[in-house]
């Protein structure tokens, strides 16, 4: 039997609302990459190649928006905007701070677990 590693559930708190996620699926990971491409207008690679301060800022935002869209789809409605592009810069800064402090460590734990080999659970004899 293979013992599957797991990540503790996350409650993401922003602007007085709580959003929960208990697990990450392959579908989530695929949707994140699709969302990145959509948010970048199909030009994610071109933005990445620019290597300017603003292109890095833009990609950071795209990456964050993609993760938040996939894991917390009601967040955009709760922020009372029609699109991520409509966010006030100071609301964006607050959101980024919460994302960095709460979501990033949680997701990084998952990524680290994926990098480790899965070991078969051998019963004691």
- 78 belongs to a structural domain: yes
- 28 belongs to a structural domain: yes
Max CA separation in the chain (angstroms): 62
- 1 belongs to a structural domain: no
Instruction: State the sign of the Cα–Cα–Cα–Cα dihedral 75, 78, 81, 82.
Output: positive
The whole-number pLDDT of residue 35 equals 97
Residues 6+ apart with CB under 8 A from 35: 65, 66, 69, 70
The whole-number pLDDT of residue 37 equals 97
Distance of alpha carbon 104 from alpha carbon 102, whole angstroms = 6
- 49 belongs to a structural domain: yes
Counted domains in the chain: 1
Q: Are 102 and 12 in contact (CB under 8 A)?
A: yes
- 110 belongs to a structural domain: no
- What is the model's pTM? 0.86
- 62 belongs to a structural domain: yes
- 115 belongs to a structural domain: no
Distance of alpha carbon 33 from alpha carbon 38, whole angstroms = 9
Q: Going residue by residue through the chain (125 aa), what tens digit of pLDDT does each one get? A: 456 667 889 999 999 999 999 989 999 999 999 999 999 999 999 999 998 999 999 999 999 999 999 999 999 999 999 999 999 999 999 999 999 999 999 999 998 888 888 776 666 66
> What range does the domain containing 41 cover?
10-105
């Amino acid at each position: 039997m293979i013992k599957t590693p797991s990540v503790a559930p996350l409650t993401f708190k922003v602007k007085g609302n709580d959003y929960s996620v208990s697990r990450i699926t392959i579908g989530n990971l695929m949707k994140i990459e699709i969302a990145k491409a959509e948010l970048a207008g199909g030009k994610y690679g071109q933005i990445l190649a620019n290597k300017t301060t603003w292109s890095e800022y833009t990609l950071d935002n795209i990456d964050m928006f993609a993760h938040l869209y996939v894991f917390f789809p009601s967040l955009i409605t709760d922020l009372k905007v029609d699109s991520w592009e409509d966010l006030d810069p100071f609301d964006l800064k607050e959101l980024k701070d919460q994302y960095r402090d709460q979501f990033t460590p949680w997701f990084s734990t998952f990524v680290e677990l994926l990098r480790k080999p899965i070991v078969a659970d051998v019963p004691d004899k």
